[in-house]
């Protein structure tokens, strides 16, 4: 696999708002790990260090990190949820995870209030049809954790974007093995016209082989 030298990008927000949500995205399969923290930057750095050392607690995330390499992972702070209280952040994280299809997330839980289930000796085990039916019947009639809650437009937009496999409408790309989150960013940093960049990324000509969509 080529040794791309990616620049890890992070969304910027007011430095005084250290608390918030974050997402770790694998560009190869568009899977996401959603998290929250009272101080996002150190938390993201902790995730990076664990993954680099090979002992991250999320085995699926660690496996793909080894498989694809750090160059195909992006660690981002989210504007969504910045500065919220811990309970608000956890509820927002829960809302996103409940909506995000399992095939697009690394998180092994969808309800932060039930994280202790991971310590259950039967966690991750395959249950029989009878057991699953019993569990389903036991949960019938229980209210949804978000019953009566209204999603803000920002939350709806973010969930829609992440479910489509993209954070936003921006299309990431490489120019000379440097990673840019959008054509606009590439244009600002290289001085090249945006239309020219798009044309070169779409071009099949060998001389533009160093212009590719991520």
Could you tell me the domains of the chain? 20-163 (3.40.1440.10), 173-213 (no CATH)
Q: How far is CA 8 from CA 80, 103, 139, 156, 179, in A?
A: 19, 24, 42, 26, 8
pLDDT in tens, 18-32: 889 999 999 999 999
pLDDT in tens, 75-99: 998 887 777 888 888 888 988 888 8
Residue with the two structure tokens 């999320």: 58
More confident residue, 72 or 131: 72
Cα–Cα–Cα angle for 75, 82, 188, nearest 5°?
Answer: 55
This prediction has a pTM of: 0.51
DSSP state of 103: G
Alpha helices in the chain (DSSP H): 40-53, 59-68, 86-99, 129-139, 153-163, 183-190, 194-202
Q: What pLDDT, on a 0 to 100 scale, did the predictor assign at position 61?
A: 96
Q: What pLDDT, on a 0 to 100 scale, did the predictor assign at position 176?
A: 81
């Amino acid at each position: 696999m080529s040794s791309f030298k990616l620049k890890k990008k992070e969304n910027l927000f007011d430095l005084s708002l250290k608390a918030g949500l974050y997402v770790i995205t694998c560009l190869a399969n568009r899977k996401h790990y959603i998290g929250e923290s009272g101080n996002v930057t150190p938390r993201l750095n902790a995730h990076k260090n664990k993954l680099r050392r090979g002992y991250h607690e999320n085995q699926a995330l660690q496996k793909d990190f080894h498989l694809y390499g750090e160059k195909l992972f992006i660690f981002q702070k989210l504007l969504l949820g910045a500065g919220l209280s811990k309970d608000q952040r956890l509820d927002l994280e829960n809302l996103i995870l409940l909506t995000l299809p399992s095939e697009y997330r690394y998180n092994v839980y969808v309800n932060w209030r039930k994280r202790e289930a991971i310590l259950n000796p039967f966690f991750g085990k395959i249950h029989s049809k009878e057991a699953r039916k019993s569990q389903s019947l036991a949960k019938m009639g229980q209210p949804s954790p978000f019953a009566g809650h209204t999603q803000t437009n920002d939350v709806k937009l973010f969930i829609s974007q992440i479910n489509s496999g993209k954070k936003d409408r921006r299309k990431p790309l490489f120019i000379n093995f440097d990673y840019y989150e959008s054509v606009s960013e590439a244009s600002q940093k290289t001085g090249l016209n945006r239309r020219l960049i798009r044309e070169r990324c779409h071009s099949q000509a060998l001389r533009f082989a160093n212009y590719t969509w991520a």
